[in-house]
């Protein structure tokens, strides 16, 4: 169904409406394999696992379906399709994107345990909860090692956008949305787009090139080259889950709602990795909407609101500064900014909703429409105010959403 996306900038508020189709990908109860979610013999060889699929006695345990997790009180297990590393109680390591992980202490370090991290010099996503022990005294291991990262070679979808496409279509990447189902999609939302704008015109925003590669809703990456234009957010590529196909579902229907993520960002320019949740409607085009954000990894960005309304607030097991901004029509933006950046972990979304209800910012009957996750990109410049952006890459190596009762 057609929905409305809205432009915003953090220092000056600029609103621009452009039509978008909000549809999505995988069913919340059935997460498709991605990134490091395929355990197998190749991972066992790369990581030097004790047991290739299942173990016995003091050896490895079974691999976890969602991340290549392993077991074994004294032994390692297996990793992802191309990832090494082990996860035994006496010495698990983390896997690289396409290579071995680092060796753990103890005798359970695999033959490949001392290898350097894989591509891009970063470890793969540590997805999965660990495999269950399958024999003897083997205890279940911790979170398993990750496998392959999304690449241009294994992507199921690719799209690119720039100012030229904005001039002709009014959207920087008009073909940048890939739907996996009626609820899940990944969307290269190059929304801050002014047709026929030129870099010399400071009254409008000019988009630089950006490309997205998608393997699944929990494994994708984007390369962008934006430059700073008055502090405006230029693009927001992200994974999106639409509740009831974007029609909304009462938050009170759920007893719990949590998400896991793993991301690797470039630490150049200005951006934040964030959850972006729309409540009581999507976009700033109608009254009564709430944009609800949880910033997990902030690099030089400032939320709307001028200054934090509250600081050092304990929410969902973490500490956050809370920024609040309201504007005409009863619309509001609530931003929770982590005191300490983290690039992977679990976010208890229900705790943030209940906190906001207790503050009177959300009504008890508020309806959740959409949950997104990705980087809000202001610029990729070094230094941030240079005259042009340079290519920088943002990886999402894991993303899950779990509701009780199950997400619709």
For residue range 43-76, list pLDDT tens digits in order: 333 333 333 333 333 333 333 333 333 333 333 3
Sheet holding 392-404, edge to edge: 157-161, 210-216, 219-224, 392-404, 256-264, 344-347
Query: What's the confidence (pLDDT) of residue 240?
Result: 98
Do 166 and 142 reside in the same domain of the chain?
A: no
Please say if the pLDDT value at position 316 is more than 60. yes
The predicted structure's pLDDT at residue 387 = 67
254 in a structural domain: yes
Residue 36 falls within a domain, yes or no?
no
Same domain, 95 and 223: no
DSSP class of residue 297 equals E
Q: Can you tell me whether residue 183 is helix, strand or coil?
A: coil
Report percent pLDDT > 90 for the chain: 52
List, for residues 289-300, the tens digit of each pLDDT value. 999 999 999 999
Largest Cα separation within the chain, whole Å, is 71
Task: Provide the pLDDT confidence category of residue 82 given band limits of 50, 70 and 90.
Answer: very low
- Bigger pLDDT: 178 vs 47: 178
Predicted pLDDT of residue 47: 33
User: Is 162 inside a domain boundary?
Assistant: yes
- Of 148, 169, 203, the last residue of a domain is 148
pLDDT at 306: 87
The answer to whether residues 213 and 151 touch, using CB atoms and an 8 Å cutoff, is yes
Residues 113 and 260 in one domain: no
Q: In this structure, is residue 366 part of a structural domain?
A: yes
In total, how many domains does the chain have? 2
CATH number at residue 392: 2.60.120.180
Tell me whether residue 143 is in a domain. yes
In a domain, 49, yes or no: yes
Q: pLDDT tens digits for 117-162?
A: 333 333 333 333 333 333 333 332 333 334 479 999 999 999 999 9
What angle (nearest 5°) sits at the alpha carbon of residue 322, between those of residues 320 and 325? 155
Average pLDDT, rounded, for the chain: 73
CB count within 10 Å of CB 245 equals 15
One domain for residues 386 and 315: yes
pLDDT category of residue 109 using cuts at 50, 70 and 90: very low
Task: Return all residues near 201 (Cβ < 8 A) that are at least 6 apart.
Answer: none
Beta-ladder partners of 337 = 295, 321
Q: Which of 121, 148, 175 is the last residue of a domain?
A: 148
Same domain, 321 and 202: yes
Which residue among 148, 180, 201 closes a domain?
148
CB contact at 8 A, 134 and 62: yes
Q: Higher model confidence: residue 103 or residue 315?
A: 315
94 and 217 both lie in a single domain: no
Backbone angles phi, psi at 28, to 5 degrees: -60, -30
Confidence of residue 284 (pLDDT cuts 50, 70, 90): confident
* Range from 2-6, 277-281, 333-337, 386-390 carrying the lowest mean pLDDT: 2-6
Same domain, 242 and 361: yes
End-to-end Cα spacing for the chain = 17
Domain for residue 37, yes or no? no
Kindly report, residue by residue over 228-270, the tens digit of the pLDDT.
888 899 999 999 999 987 688 999 999 999 999 999 999 999 9
Task: Examine the domain organization and report whether 267 and 138 are in the same domain.
Answer: no
| 105, 166: one domain | no
Q: How confident is the model at residue 344 (pLDDT cuts 50, 70, 90)?
A: very high
Here the tokens at position 355 are 């906190």
Answer whether residue 278 shows pLDDT above 80.
yes
Does the pTM of the predicted model rise above 0.75? no
**The domain containing residue 372 runs over which residues?**
2-31+151-404
Kindly compute the dihedral angle of the four CA atoms of residues 79, 85, 87, 88, in this order, to the nearest 10 degrees.
110
Residue 252: predicted pLDDT? 96
Q: What gap in Å lies between CA 88 and CA 389, rounded to an integer?
A: 43
User: Is a pLDDT exceeding 50 seen at residue 338?
Assistant: yes
Whether 9 and 134 map to the same domain: the answer is no
Cis peptide before 225 (omega within 30 of 0): no
Residue 139 lies in a domain: yes
Whether residue 144 sits in one domain with residue 157: no
Same domain for 340 and 234, yes or no, is yes
Query: Which of 68-72, 204-208, 311-315 is predicted with the least confidence, judged by mean pLDDT?
Result: 68-72
The pLDDT value recorded for residue 202 is 79
Of residues 75 and 393, more confidence is placed in: 393
């Amino acid at each position: 169904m057609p929905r409305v996306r809205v432009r915003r900038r953090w220092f000056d508020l600029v609103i621009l409406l452009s039509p978008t189709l909000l549809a999505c990908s995988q069913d919340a109860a059935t997460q498709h394999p991605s990134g490091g979610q395929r355990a197998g013999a190749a991972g066992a060889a790369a990581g030097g696992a004790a047991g290739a699929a299942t173990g016995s006695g003091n050896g490895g345990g079974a691999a976890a379906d969602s991340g290549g997790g392993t077991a074994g009180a004294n032994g390692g297990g297996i990793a992802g399709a191309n990832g090494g590393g082990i996860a035994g109680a006496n010495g698990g390591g983390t896997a690289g994107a396409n290579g071995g992980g680092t060796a753990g202490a103890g005798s359970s370090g695999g033959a490949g345990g001392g290898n350097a991290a894989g591509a891009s010099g970063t470890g793969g996503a540590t997805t999965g909860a660990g495999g269950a022990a399958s024999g003897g005294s083997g205890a279940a291991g911790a979170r398993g090692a990750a496998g392959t990262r999304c690449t241009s070679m294994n992507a199921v979808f690719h799209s690119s956008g720039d100012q030229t496409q904005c001039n002709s279509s009014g959207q920087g990447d008009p073909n940048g949305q890939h739907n996996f189902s009626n609820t899940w999609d990944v969307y290269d939302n190059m929304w801050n787009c002014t047709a026929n704008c030129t870099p010399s015109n400071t009254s409008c925003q000019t988009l630089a090139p950006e490309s997205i590669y998608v393997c699944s809703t929990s494994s994708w990456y984007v390369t962008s080259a934006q430059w700073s234009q008055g502090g405006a957010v230029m693009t927001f590529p992200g994974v999106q889950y639409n509740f009831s196909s974007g029609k909304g579902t009462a938050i009170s229907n759920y007893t719990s709602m949590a998400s896991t993520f793993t991301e690797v960002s470039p630490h150049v320019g200005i951006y934040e990795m964030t959850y972006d949740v729309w409540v009581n409607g999507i976009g700033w085009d109608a009254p009564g909407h709430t944009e609800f954000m949880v910033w997990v990894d902030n690099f030089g960005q400032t939320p709307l609101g001028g200054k934090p309304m509250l600081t050092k607030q304990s929410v969902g097991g973490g500490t956050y500064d809370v920024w609040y901004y309201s504007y005409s029509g009863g619309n509001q933006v609530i931003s929770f900014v982590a005191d300490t950046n983290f690039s992977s972990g679990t976010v208890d979304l229900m705790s943030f909703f209940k906190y906001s209800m207790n503050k009177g910012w959300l009504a008890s009957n508020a309806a959740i429409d959409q949950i997104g996750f990705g980087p809000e990109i202001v610029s990729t410049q070094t230094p941030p105010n240079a005259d042009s952006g340079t290519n920088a890459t943002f990886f999402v190596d894991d993303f899950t959403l779990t509701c009780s009762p199950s997400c619709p």
